Chains A and B, each alone.
Chain A
Amino acid sequence: MVADPAGDPRMSSPVLAATATPGAEASAPAPLPMPRKPLGRTLWRYRSLYLMALPGIVYFLVFKYLPMGGLIIAFQDYKPFLGILDSPWVGFEHFVRLFTQDTFFMLLRNTLFLSFLLMLISFPVPIILALLLNELRGIVFKRSVQTIIYIPHFMSWVIVVSLFYVMLTTDGGAINNLIVSLGGEPVGFLTDPDWLRPMYVFQHVWRTAGWGTIVYLAALTAVGMSLYEAAEIDGANRWQQTWHITLPAIRATIIVLFILSIGDFLELGFEHMFLLLNSMNREVGEIFDTFVYTAGIQNGQLSFATAVGLFKGLVGLVLVMGANTFAKKLGEEGVY
């Protein structure tokens, strides 16, 4: 250590002494080889760990970060044959067009509304299912139920939507046949705009809920039996045990998964909605993802589609950061 100037009695000016002190603490060690040590030495010391992380790092750089550079075409009038370098710049023109279009509010409304519905309905279902499964005593029965409810996860949306189509169509679908034979009027599930959202959410729950229980079930196994025993001695019934022991025990898991799922908040999934859309329900069903496909891929307006996608990404980012801050305010961990 070099001599601390503040401690030098020959320094008479209090101002100088006061200002110098904090700076000296930081700058004084600078000439020493200390700062080199963290990066080089740490890299070296944990070389095998870094080596193991390398493929992942390369993956993220190549497939996640590098393509982000392409977002630049949102501010250009991009023509594939001119490339990014030669395409003319247009500034915020595509964004202006997006925000001034009539369809913008329809897209925003549909996307947000469906996202909230999924949050409200699709997110809690796996938790409830996991709690119910946890109460089951017969191990064989429990395992079978668990397997059966997560099988839909392995079906593609095309299969799921086709299954529902076959059952719901008014041209001889099983459900409508049943309704008619009971004396009712056939219901246009597939074409009635009012049925689109319930159908969308139901299919989403049907396909994803079972798979979603796995993480919660894992978290539930970590809850100590002694807690339940103690509660039983205190006279707590099963409902009270669930409310006061199980739920608080998996609270952290729920919150982390909640924030993560907010990250996918606006990712309604192009495929699912695209398969459900038709002329009759487009007014309530067209979302950003399907619009980007029509505008960008079918219509060749790559720049405009990128601008729409970028806007969607920004909204998603704001929501994740908001949720994370909120979680921290509640005293939880958050994801970053």
Chain B
Amino acid sequence: MISRRNLLSSVPVAAAGALALSSCGSSSGSSGGGDDPLTWMAMLHTPSTPDASGPVQKGLTDLLGTDFTMQWVPDASKEEKINAALASGSVADVTSITELNNSSIRSGVTSGLFWDVEPFLSEFDHLKDIDSTILDGARLDGVLYGVPFQKILARYGVLIRQDWLDELGLEVPHTIEDLGKVAKAFAEGDPTGTGKSVTGFIDREESFKVGFRSLAGYFGAGETFQLDDSGTIIPAIISDPWKEAMEWYRGVFEAGGVNQEFITTQKENQQQAIAQDKGGIVVTGLFEAKNYVALAESINPDTSVEWTLINDITFEDVPRRIVSDTGGGVGGLLALSTQTVKTEEDVRRVLGYADALMTEEAHGLMTNGIEGTHYEIDGDGAVTIIDQGLWEQEVQPYSSSRLAENAFTYKSSDPYVNLANEMMEESSQYAITNPVQSLNSETFNSQWATIEQTIQDAYNNFMMGQASMADYESAIETVRSQGLDDIISEYTEAYEKFND
């Protein structure tokens, strides 16, 4: 009697134990070789996950000829999730790895968890055509750990309110000098015609890494790193053109041409400020113009907002250039797990699916959805999204998983979209990329985030008028001993070896 009771009372313990065990086990179970559907861990940039039985996934299943399961990772927590998956070795059969500059992800990717796919690429119709500069940028220490996601090389430019320029009788600027003048004119004049005080540039917290970085590029600063005259690889943020750009930008800031508290402005606040007519110049992706107009229209349907897209700003005698904002056109890697995709046969099979994803049918499905349901084509062959809500729910989540987002462009019924596409295409020939993107520096992996933050703090203090250029220089001197000098020498050495 007693022993039986004892047995019974121990059941909950066993159950709890089993629960703990099963919850550990389930995360590692997946297979690419057996009959189980293929698993694909991908980033989700939308608020909700699409239904697995939705039209896009169904269509892809038919096109690929295989069943597959999407494991969506919200974009905001991608670093933690991917790091955890890498650290525990429990990756899906196929993983989209987008954060190649994150040091711990980088060391995880190179630790043998993924196949070197380069030897297989030539066997596939679409994969074999991937541009060699993309492949160069996608290799880590000379190895291609996955099929690269191809992005547009340089999407950035300057957006200016055309209706404000017209109000003040100004020309569209194409030089840094004129751009600064327009910013000041917006701040001093009354471009809205309502007497409301506005500013020129609407910048945000990430200025140093995003907007200003692009502006400094016009002055001649590189994309993260650059080769200086003496053949040394140095970070763009310590280069002379960068500092020159800082002096210029602070001049504009002091004249009221930049929103005065941009260092606390989040992206959402920035968008709001733009929508509320608080400023008329934004350094951002050219494709954003469409969204700004949509945002303005959502506030006032009869808005007269009109944006001009500029992709050819130049500074003095510096030739036309634009720094790449997409890591040299490499948006990440589609990596195949060595744990679950076991044999070379399996690798070929899975790469076959990747190849099928690059076909026009699959690309169109992941971009526009299904004709009649999500979009329609008018007489000029232009695409119009007919049900924006449905498209956002069912199609948009897949669009960031396209292997080559610029492989096919669709004529849109929205002129801003077509113009942005043309201009980004045109910019690519002037794009500046990071010369050491695919090279390795141990110190960069472990120290860069700290160094970058110190310099960014110095930049922000300089911009706000709390520090001088001498202070910025001394911040650079401080971080030299914290690893900056090692990064410079390691990258220079790797670069010389690579280019021999």
Contact = CB atoms under 8 A, between A and B. Distances in A.
Contacts of B260: 170-171
A106 B260 CA distance: 28
B12 interface: yes
B280 to A, nearest CB: 15
B450 A294 contact: yes
A301 interface: yes
Contacts of A278: 205, 263-264, 460
A191 B113 CA distance: 45
A51 B13 CA distance: 9
Contacts of A58: 13, 16
A279 B261 contact: no
Interface in A136-182: 165, 169-172
A282 interface: yes
Q: Is the contact region of chain A dominated by helix, strand, or loop, or is it mixed?
A: loop
A171 B104 contact: no
Contacts of A190: 261, 264
B278 A297 contact: no
B61 interface: no
Contact of A299 (B12, B205, B261, B449): B449
B446 interface: yes
A171 B265 contact: yes
Contact of A165 (B9, B13, B269): B269
Given A297-B80, A299-B449, A80 B460 contact: no
Contacts of B460: 278-280
A301 B446 contact: yes
Interface string B137-150: 00000000000000
Interface residues of A, number: 29
Given A280-B466, A300-B104, A171 B261 contact: yes
A325 to B, nearest CB: 37
A308 to B, nearest CB: 13
A55 interface: yes
A62 interface: yes
Contact of A300 (B107, B273, B464): B107
B263 A280 contact: yes
B87 A80 contact: yes
Interface string B100-141: 001110011001010000000000000000000000000000
A170 B449 contact: no
A318 B92 CA distance: 45
Nearest to A186: B260
A44 to B, nearest CB: 8
Given A170-B261, A171-B273, A171-B278, A300 B80 contact: no
Contacts of B458: 279
Contacts of B12: 51, 54-55
A280 B457 CA distance: 7
Nearest to B105: A300
Contacts of A81: 86-87, 89, 107-108, 111, 113
Q: How many interface residues does chain B have, given as a range?
A: 35 or more
Contact of B449 (A47, A80, A294): A294
B106 to A, nearest CB: 9
A106 to B, nearest CB: 13
A295 interface: yes
Choose among A54, A170, A278, A294 the residue with the greatest number of B CB atoms under 10 Å from its CB: A278
Contacts of B456: 279
Nearest to A173: B261
Nearest to A169: B261
Given A55-B16, A278-B205, A300-B446, A191 B261 contact: yes
A27 interface: no
Contacts, number: 82
Interface in A272-314: 278-280, 282, 294-295, 297-302
Interface centre among B13, B16, B104, B265 (most CB of A within 10 A): B104
Contacts of A79: 107
Nearest to B12: A54
A51 B16 CA distance: 12
A172 B278 contact: yes
Interface in B268-326: 269, 273, 278
Interface string A25-41: 00000000000000000
Contacts of A188: 261
A294 B261 contact: no
A300 B261 contact: no
A171 B87 CA distance: 44
Given A81-B111, A172-B278, A191-B263, A299 B450 contact: yes
Contacts of A170: 260-261
A189 to B, nearest CB: 10
A295 B111 CA distance: 22
B392 interface: no
A51 B466 contact: no
A279 B450 contact: no
B13 A54 contact: yes
Contacts of B103: 299-300
A180 to B, nearest CB: 11
A166 B449 CA distance: 29
Contacts of A294: 449-450, 453
A51 B278 contact: no
B113 to A, nearest CB: 8
A58 B422 CA distance: 61
A302 B87 CA distance: 12
Contacts of A302: 104
Contacts of B205: 278
A26 B402 CA distance: 78
B186 to A, nearest CB: 15
A46 B13 CA distance: 17
B259 A80 contact: no
B224 interface: no
B79 interface: yes
A280 B465 CA distance: 11
Interface string B1-35: 00000000100110010001000000000000000
Contact of A295 (B79, B108, B273, B450): B450
The 9 closest A-B pairs by CB, nearest first: A300-B104, A279-B460, A80-B87, A279-B457, A299-B449, A81-B111, A300-B103, A190-B264, A298-B449
19 contacts: A54-B13, A80-B86, A81-B86, A165-B269, A169-B261, A169-B264, A170-B260, A171-B261, A191-B263, A191-B464, A278-B263, A279-B263, A280-B263, A282-B457, A297-B80, A298-B449, A299-B103, A299-B446, A300-B102
Given A81-B86, A171-B265, 16 more contacts: A47-B9, A54-B12, A55-B12, A62-B20, A79-B107, A81-B87, A81-B107, A165-B269, A170-B261, A172-B278, A191-B264, A278-B264, A279-B457, A279-B459, A297-B79, A299-B449
Interface of B: 9, 12-13, 16, 20, 79-80, 83, 86-87, 89, 102-104, 107-108, 111, 113, 205, 259-261, 263-265, 269, 273, 278, 445-450, 453, 456-461, 464, 466
Interface of A: 47, 51, 54-55, 58, 62, 79-81, 165, 169-172, 188, 190-191, 278-280, 282, 294-295, 297-302
